[in-house]
Chains A and B, each alone.
Chain A
Amino acid sequence: MRLLEVPARVVTGYQGGEQNPVDGFMTVRQSDAHAWTEVWLQGQGWVRIDPTSVVAPVRIQSGAGEVARQAGRGSTATGTDVPWLRALRYNWEAVENSWNQWVLTYSLERQQALVERLASPPGWKASSCCLRSSWASCLPGSRSSRCDRDWCAIRWSVLPVAARAARTCRRGGLRLVRTPRALCPDQARAGRRRREAGAPSARPLRAAALRPGLGQCNARRCPRPAPCDPGLPAPPQSAVTHGRRSFLVALAALAVARPAQARSPYVGRPEVQQFVEELAATHGFDRARLERWLRDARYSASVERLMQPPIPFGQRNWLEYRQRYLDPARVQAGVDFWQTHRAALARAEEEYGVPAEIIVAVIGVETYFGRITGNFRTLDVFTTLTFDYLRRADFYRAEFIEFLLLAREQRRDPLSYRGSFAGAIGLPQFMPGSIRRWGVDFDGDSRIDLLASPTDAIGSVANFLVGHGCNATCRSSSRPRPTKASSMPSVAASRRGRHGPRHCRQASAPRHCCRSIPP
């Protein structure tokens, strides 16, 4: 088609599949892989043209399995065509699918969600020993090994063992439910002792604080004791061992899940206590009030997961990225934002000398012009990243303090803030420290609200950029440099003619100005 000057491309994917009559799920296999073409037609966009449909319509209408059957192979990649064997396969796959849906992916978060959903009639103290110990068992050494990975390490090969273990465990769990907590007082004491001793590892400690005494309790009831001394590194264990433990826990969770009373994972931890003392001493915060906030703070596993550094993909193709990123909807949203707030933007341009398009672009890149500002509770983000995610703990500890100061200055409840998983707030995604340093009340309502007031956001972005050395003079030299001249952002390119090339005042400025809001 390209030789005929018709824009064309190859598309690969899957075509067909097989619906399992047992559970109604569609199974798509590697043997359903298919490649076809698309041509681009004016006014219609990409249109699917599949030559296979004219050569072998049966492939398109009935799938790869039918092609194989007609070819007389009698069997496909999926197995045999004998009816009873096929029925067996359907049943087997339905079981396997249920297993995948309900056991393997029955992750920590979903367990917690279940427990939260069943939220407690007050006084319901006991969860199942095994359910809780599942969390505990996952935690030692968990900075490197994640529970979710363990779940998926389970294979059919461990099923008989795991099922037996689960039965035992379930019995133990049920007994515990009948006599909640009283069974493990010695462990509770041990947990307290460990906390007082100030054991180094943060998350196991949290586990101990959250559910004192479960390790040993677990050791008594369950065939595979969880390592329960948080001070010791977890012994090396095969994935299958982990898996088995996780499995029995999963079954136990399904069988006897009981709501655990919500308790703070933070109050009572020595490093948290130290944090409270420090804030009280240096910034005059009221200890009781701080503790009340911290009691409401929750550890967020998704925050921690999202903070993991991404695997580098290598150099991305700017052209491809630009095409994906700068789609018509985003451009339109930018134009709308600019129109709606043109007065504030013009004022910012005048007062700070920062070009309006750069302010619009920053807000567009950060939050799609305010559409995606994040829905994580900022307090949870900071407790999680300060106390449970040690990779950037110093940075987040400082920002946590800034956050509490900000809330105090703004006379707002720290629990009321929401933002990104990294703690950034509002349309321009400022960190609390940046809000305190660079935020401005641009709409004159005597408060700085970067989430509710786009005007404040516009003024604050301008002020931030000026504070980092940006002004009208660095309009064009600060743009990201694409590899090809033709791939310059077209909106910007069209404006360039009007203003002409400009240069930054300071030699070092272009690298920094107009470029980034700190994470």
Chain B
Amino acid sequence: MRLLANGLITSRIRYDATSYTAYRLDANLSPPQLQDWLVLPAGFNPRTIQFAQELRDQVLPGAATDRRAQEVQLVNAVLEHFRRGSYGYTLEHRPWDATRSTSSCSTRGSDSASTMPRPSCS
């Protein structure tokens, strides 16, 4: 979702918007449409790929056969990894300290801090 102006915005503008906190978005996407959201650049992040493989091997054998239930379990497994993995959240812009990175891997924050794991974190 994006708001696009019809021209350059050179002055203060006012617009009305309504937010919906309970929403259902794109509940019926077809497999080809979903394909866009599965694309990853090839040849990057070997350690993340390995981590994903390990997680899959760990979760899926015991998981339900229903794809939907499997996905939920995978999501929960990833969140659990963050919860237990000594990740931190910070707004400080500190240089990356490679010596701290192996076991307690604090994600470097910015103001738009995201806790997505970096390759070296996993």
Q: Which of A's residues lie within 8 Å of B, judged by CB?
A: 1-10, 12, 30-31, 33-37, 39-46, 49, 51-52, 54-56, 59, 64, 67-68, 71, 73, 77, 100, 104-105, 148-149, 151-153, 306, 308, 310-311, 313, 319, 323, 328, 486
Contact = CB atoms under 8 A, between A and B. Distances in A.
A57 B7 CA distance: 39
Given A7-B37, A54-B82, 18 more contacts: A3-B49, A7-B38, A35-B112, A35-B113, A40-B26, A41-B68, A42-B67, A45-B27, A45-B29, A51-B79, A51-B114, A51-B116, A55-B115, A67-B89, A73-B91, A104-B12, A105-B12, A323-B33
B17 interface: no
Contacts of A67: 89-91
Contacts of A71: 90-92
A77 B25 contact: no
Contact of B114 (A8, A45, A52): A52
A310 B7 contact: yes
B18 interface: no
A56 B89 contact: yes
Given A55-B89, A68-B91, A310-B7, A36 B114 contact: yes
Contacts of A1: 74-75, 78
B34 interface: yes
9 contacts: A2-B39, A3-B53, A40-B34, A41-B72, A51-B115, A55-B115, A59-B89, A59-B113, A486-B32
B28 interface: yes
Contacts of B113: 34-35, 52, 59
Contacts of A40: 26, 29, 34, 37
Prevailing SS type, chain B contact patch = loop
A119 B54 CA distance: 73
B69 to A, nearest CB: 10
A43 B68 contact: yes
Number of chain B interface residues as a range: 35 or more
A6 B74 contact: yes
A4 B6 contact: no
* Nearest 5 CB-CB pairings of A with B: A56-B89, A3-B52, A152-B11, A7-B37, A45-B27
A55 B82 contact: yes
B10 interface: yes
B83 A55 contact: yes
A34 B112 contact: yes
B107 A55 contact: yes
Nearest to A60: B89
A165 B120 CA distance: 62
Most B Cβ at <10 Å: residue of A1, A51, A67, A311:
A51
B106 to A, nearest CB: 9
Nearest to A320: B36
A7 B71 CA distance: 10
Interface in B1-18: 4, 6-8, 10-12, 14
Contacts of B91: 31, 64, 67-68, 71, 73
Contacts of B55: 4
A25 to B, nearest CB: 13
Given A4-B74, A44-B24, A49 B12 contact: no
Contacts of B74: 1, 4, 6
A59 B82 CA distance: 15
B116 A37 contact: yes
Nearest to A3: B52
Contact of B11 (A148, A306, A311): A148
Contacts of B27: 43-45
Contacts of A7: 29, 34, 37-38
Interface string B90-122: 111000000000000001000111111000000
